[in-house]
Structure 1
Amino acid sequence: MTSPDTSGDREKVVSKLPSWLRQELKIRAVQHGVDMQDAVEAGIEAWRGLGSNLSPIDTSGAESFATFLPAELWSGFRADCKLRGVSLIQGLAQSVQMWLDINPAPAVKRPEIVRRIVVCNQKGGVGKTAITAGTGEALAEAPTALVPVRVSKHFAALLNEDETTRQDPLALEDLPGLGQRVLLVDFDPQGHLTRQLGQEPLPMDGDSLTNHMAGDGKGDLRDLIVPIDEDRFGDRLHLLPACTDAFLLDVRLASVRAREASLERALSPIETHYDVILVDCPPSLGLSMDAATYYGRRRPQESPGNSGALIVVQAEDSSADAYGLLTSQIEDMRTDLGLDVDYLGLVVNHYDARRGYIATSSLQSWMDIKDPRVVGVIGDLKEQKEAVRAKRPLLAYSPRCDQSVALRALAREISK
């Protein structure tokens, strides 16, 4: 069946296609940055150029499929199907499969140097743990599935957001998951990240990251790492749990030689297993924060912005004071040790424009800073609290909620 396409020299055609093949076509087209109709056109042209029939494809349960094709292509394709003795549905399925075979899924881009993202703020309660977990989850989602993303150009609209604009589906774009191998490091002795992801803190009488940083490791650090068992992350999302012995970390580091490099010495043996390592820092300006800052510094031969500090704030005044203390510490480290520490950006968390002028004016103040710039605005919605209660990753618990959508945008913004 055909109908004219008034927007150009194409006509609408309707046939059938197995749902699994249609989904794979949709994902692959997005991965290659082409329209589905162009992919179908290229597949049909390649199929018509064959000298013999392909192996049959199981088209049982095929469902209605519509697309736009150049004028005359569909009629020529129908004639070729009749000549070859195959049904129109079978010919279309073979054409789509042929395009998929010619255009395999692109490989996931791996960083040359493992990315080290230090999620920090001296102030507690701003949601560093939620941002650490959500960003890691967004980085680890399967590259073979499409997920909704709200892109950064919509940040400005948040200043005047209402329920309609916040839920506007036109502001979303379906993109493949990033497919990164991610390690989340719970560097906070309170262990919120560990518990939120359904794990238990390491026992005090066993091994821990603190022991390895202090030079007293009792085994291989990899043995402490646990996978986050959710289908959408495959085996790409792992956690290094907290241990309450981290309360003693600053005291133990005081006697450690080159203590600023202690976190790097502990984690460097496992870096080759990951593309990104995110460190959920405690609300502290002590020696542990020095070690985290050093770990996130730019290494020799590393591109600017590959690693660095991701600072989580809120749209209220006390966050500005804490931000000033943190950046002063980072600047001191830069000066004293001659480090290149990049700011990956500011994340304004728990944002709700309904709180009025204080929230909106504070957000505007953060956006006016420019360096570091705002790379994410995450709403204060119920799904995050529900996921914490359920002890599940937010992007698995509610993958299409506004917070999940915004966290995917954040992950992409700091991956540019």
Structure 2
Amino acid sequence: MRSDANIAGPMTDPVPGPRTDPTGHDVSRETPPPMDDTPIGRAAQLAVEALGRAGEGLPRPEDTRVMVVANQKGGVGKTTTTVNLAASLALHGGRVLVIDLDPQGNASTALGIDHHAEVPSIYDVLVESKPLSEVVQPVPDVEGLFCAPATIDLAGAEIELVSLVARESRLQRAIQAYEQPLDYILIDCPPSLGLLTVNALVAGAEVLIPIQCEYYALEGLGQLLRNVDLVRGHLNPALHVSTILLTMYDGRTRLASQVAEEVRNHFGDEVLRTSIPRSVRISEAPSYGQTVLTYDPGSSGALSYLEAAREIALRGVGIHYDAQHAHLGAQNDQQNMAEGIQ
């Protein structure tokens, strides 16, 4: 498990060796910088607190949890949710693998993983039967996080898989043969219900569905749920929808509240208490090859993904993350931040 120093250290003091204050005296690297009451100062403190909370660690699952992030509706935050939840779980002390099954390779880009045509990728695993261990790369900046990247070759995999033996279970077999210990595997699916998504559904036990808080939020979900039922009935009896995550939530609008209420009424306990706000920082992070956790750790988006990851981890070991728990956690976080700013 990683210590708070390992996590927060590089963010708070990237320059090795002693610092010098304005009077010319050496200052220990462990000495925290004075916190001025400015927006930048408060944001820096939020970042330290966020990473400090992540370093506390969470209960680890007994067996690897394989979660399929799917929704054939585009633009709902599948890739964003995959990479930021993965980074959050890793910062909480877990060992996490992201499998990028989208030919666009956006998850690979967001994690800072090179995925040009010559890079060994998940395509080689599915079509060429290459071992998964030969394509997995460690993610820079986040200890314990790994990625099996997607390349443009994956665009033709749907057609090439049709003629292969056991075409629906090739990813499942690759994961079962992977010998490195993992706590979580998150699979980022393309916005379609073809053979790539079917491979993910056969390989996973849990389905995580991001739902955008917009007018057409539930449109098209029926077909995804029917496919989940079909795969469960014929190929993977363990498959179930375990998690619904509300994304792009804007509390200022009445529509977002109505959509959230409708989703909670429809899906019940599967919906996480934590919702992900609409955030410029979340949108900007991938262009820098980063998750929002490393791009702006103190932002509302980063804090929300950390809380969502905490909720998912607690649910996985049978601890119900109820509203009271969430409220107390938020109060403690606010108190910690207030003490840090003072």
**TM-score, normalised by the number of residues in structure 2:** 0.71
Q: Which residue of 2 aligns with 1:330?
A: 228
Q: Which residue of 2 aligns with 1:140?
A: 90
Q: Which residue of 2 aligns with 1:189?
A: 103
Deviation, 1:107, is 8.9
Report whether the alignment pairs 1:123 with 2:73.
yes
Deviation, 1:199, is 2.4
The within-5 A match list for 1:222-241 is: 222-230=133-141, 233-234=142-143, 236-241=144-149
| C-alpha spacing 1:344/1:133, structure 2 compared with 1 (3 Å) | same
CA contact (8 A) 2:59 2:313 kept: no
Q: Which residue of 1 aligns with 2:41?
A: none
Equivalent of residue 344 in structure 1, options 242, 250, 254? 242
Deviation, 1:271, is 5.0
Q: Which residue of 2 aligns with 1:90?
A: none
Deviation, 1:348, is 1.0
The 1-side partners of 2:179 and 2:64 are apart by: 7
Deviation, 1:335, is 2.3
Equivalent of residue 196 in structure 2, options 288, 292, 297? 288
Equivalent of residue 151 in structure 2, options 243, 259, 262? 243
Q: Which residue of 2 aligns with 1:262?
A: 170
Deviation, 1:415, is 1.5
Identity across matched positions, percent: 31
The 2-side partners of 1:183 and 1:210 are apart by: 16
Secondary structure in structure 2 of the residue aligned to 1:415:
helix
| C-alpha spacing 1:287/1:395, structure 2 compared with 1 (3 Å) | same
> How far does the alpha carbon of each residue in 1:266-309 deviate from its partner, in whole angstroms, 9 at most, with x for none?
22222533211111111011111111111113xxxxxxxxxx00
Equivalent of residue 212 in structure 2, options 309, 314, 318? 314
> How far does the alpha carbon of each residue in 1:212-237 deviate from its partner, in whole angstroms, 9 at most, with x for none?
222x24x543232222221xx33x01
CA contact (8 A) 2:119 2:151 kept: no
The 1-side partners of 2:256 and 2:66 are apart by: 31
Give ranges in structure 2 of 5+ residues lacking alignment. 6-27, 33-54, 315-342
Point out the structure with the larger strand share. 1
Larger radius of gyration: 1
CA contact (8 A) 1:119 1:132 kept: yes
The 2-side partners of 1:358 and 1:277 are apart by: 33
Q: Which residue of 1 aligns with 2:255?
A: 358
Q: Which residue of 2 aligns with 1:406?
A: 304
> How far does the alpha carbon of each residue in 1:324-374 deviate from its partner, in whole angstroms, 9 at most, with x for none?
2211110121223361212221111111122x3322211110111244621
Give ranges in structure 1 of 5+ residues lacking alignment. 1-22, 25-58, 64-104, 142-177, 298-307
CA contact (8 A) 1:209 1:266 kept: no
Secondary structure in structure 1 of the residue aligned to 2:275:
strand
The 1-side partners of 2:107 and 2:192 are apart by: 16
Deviation, 1:137, is 0.7
| C-alpha spacing 1:118/1:271, structure 2 compared with 1 (3 Å) | farther
**TM-score, normalised by the number of residues in structure 1:** 0.59
| C-alpha spacing 1:124/1:368, structure 2 compared with 1 (3 Å) | same
Deviation, 1:128, is 0.6
| C-alpha spacing 1:108/1:311, structure 2 compared with 1 (3 Å) | closer
